[in-house]
Amino acid sequence: MTVFGFHASHEQIHPAKLLAAVIHAERAGFDAAMSSDHFSPWSARQGQSGFAWSWLGAALQATNLPFGVVNAPGQRYHPAIIAQAIGTLGAMYPGRFWAALGTGEASNEHITGDGWPRKDVRNARLRECVDVIRALLAGEEVSHDGLVRVDRAKLWTRPERPPALIGAAVSVATARWCAEWADGLITVNAPADHLRQMIDAYRDAGGRGPLHLQAHVSWAPDQAEAEAIAYDQWRSNVFAPPVCWDLEMTEHFDAVSADVPLEKVASTVHVSADLGRHVGWLEEYLALGFDQIALHHVGQEQRAFIDTFGAEVLPKLRTPA
């Protein structure tokens, strides 16, 4: 049966409020949670960006939910540090933690002052990071000289079983590439045909493990309110790669999204006051075979969404047709 999770969006919500929200989501019937990992928000209107790894320890302690995080090792984070973070959470909360690894966005990584590499270089850097992280989680001492450098690193605290390393992808080509190294695949909502091509590419290339989806939704009791929430909070997030990968500052995203029409936002976020429509959208993803779907209500206030979806949407999705 598909697991339905709550997405914790650090870019939009103060970490204390986000912790209260994920505790409430567990009580409301959500099965799991996942977390973003940003240094800055996508828009000044979002206005937050807490440190995910501090928060994850608190959230795992405060709930019984399994958690994942989407991380980009290689520039802002040294892979040995990410291996240590994964290993510590895995040791403290066995079987409850996974990490999705991707190539990242300049909006988070530019803070190091290093240049932002081409996508092919970022892919190669990520592949090196994955190998370093896996070797460290396996207990090896690692030295490596390449796009990332490691000198005689060893993890002294490790879980008995290494947490899954999931591949993050938004294109068919990247999904196929992730099959070489990942323990599963994660992507975001997109047209069903595109998602089916990604899944087929991943599986046909030998990709193993679960399929994860992050689904952006905007719900309110009133349609105009649902639209206003999505437009205010998510219109800076409608741009396809490479734009979303390469812009550096919140003011850049706010400038390019100043005249984005609502229809463009609605092509990225499922916007509706009608819970039946949300059920229908999510049923399409169920039919594609996703093992976990994390729901991201793009508003900053989460409680009404959690209560309503927990009571009226998730039960319908869990009931066989």
Please name the residue that has the structure tokens 């460290």.
136
Contact in structure between 144 and 132 (CB atoms under 8 Å): yes
Residues 6+ apart with CB under 8 A from 215: 188, 189, 270, 281, 282, 285, 293, 294, 295, 296
Query: Which residue segments constitute the domains of the chain, with CATH numbers given?
Result: 3-318 (3.20.20.30)
Which class for 259: exposed (0-12), middle (13-18), buried (19 or more C-beta within 10 A)? exposed
Which helix (H) or strand (E) element contains residue 187? strand 185-188
DSSP state of 7: E
As a whole number of angstroms, the distance between CA 81 and CA 99 comes to: 13
C-alpha separations of 78 from 132, 133, 150, 186, 318 in Å: 10, 10, 9, 22, 40
Contact in structure between 65 and 26 (CB atoms under 8 Å): yes
Phi-psi region of 252 (alpha: psi -120 to 50; beta: other; left: phi over 0): alpha
As a whole number of angstroms, the distance between CA 28 and CA 24 comes to: 6
* Structure token digits, residue 264: 């463009």
Q: Give me the pLDDT at residue 320, please.
A: 65
Q: Give me the pLDDT at residue 319, please.
A: 78
**Tens place of pLDDT per residue across the chain (321 aa):** 899 999 999 999 999 999 999 999 999 999 999 999 999 999 999 999 999 999 999 999 999 999 999 999 999 999 999 999 999 999 999 999 999 999 999 999 999 999 999 999 999 999 999 999 999 999 999 999 999 999 999 999 999 999 999 999 999 999 999 999 999 999 999 999 999 999 999 999 999 999 999 999 999 999 999 999 999 999 999 998 999 999 999 999 999 999 999 999 999 999 999 999 999 999 999 999 999 999 999 999 999 999 999 999 999 999 765
Please name the residue that has the structure tokens 């049923």.
283
Residues 6+ apart with CB under 8 A from 254: 43, 44, 45, 236
* Structure token digits, residue 54: 């501090």
* Structure token digits, residue 33: 């949670």
Which amino acid is residue 12, in one-letter code?
Q
Q: Give me the pLDDT at residue 162, please.
A: 97
Report field, pTM of the whole predicted structure over 0.85:
yes
Residue of 209, 210, 216, 206 lying closest to 238 (CA atoms): 216
C-alpha separations of 136 from 155, 209, 265, 312 in Å: 6, 21, 41, 44
Q: Give me the pLDDT at residue 321, please.
A: 53
Contact in structure between 257 and 236 (CB atoms under 8 Å): yes
Q: Please list the active-site residues.
A: 38, 105
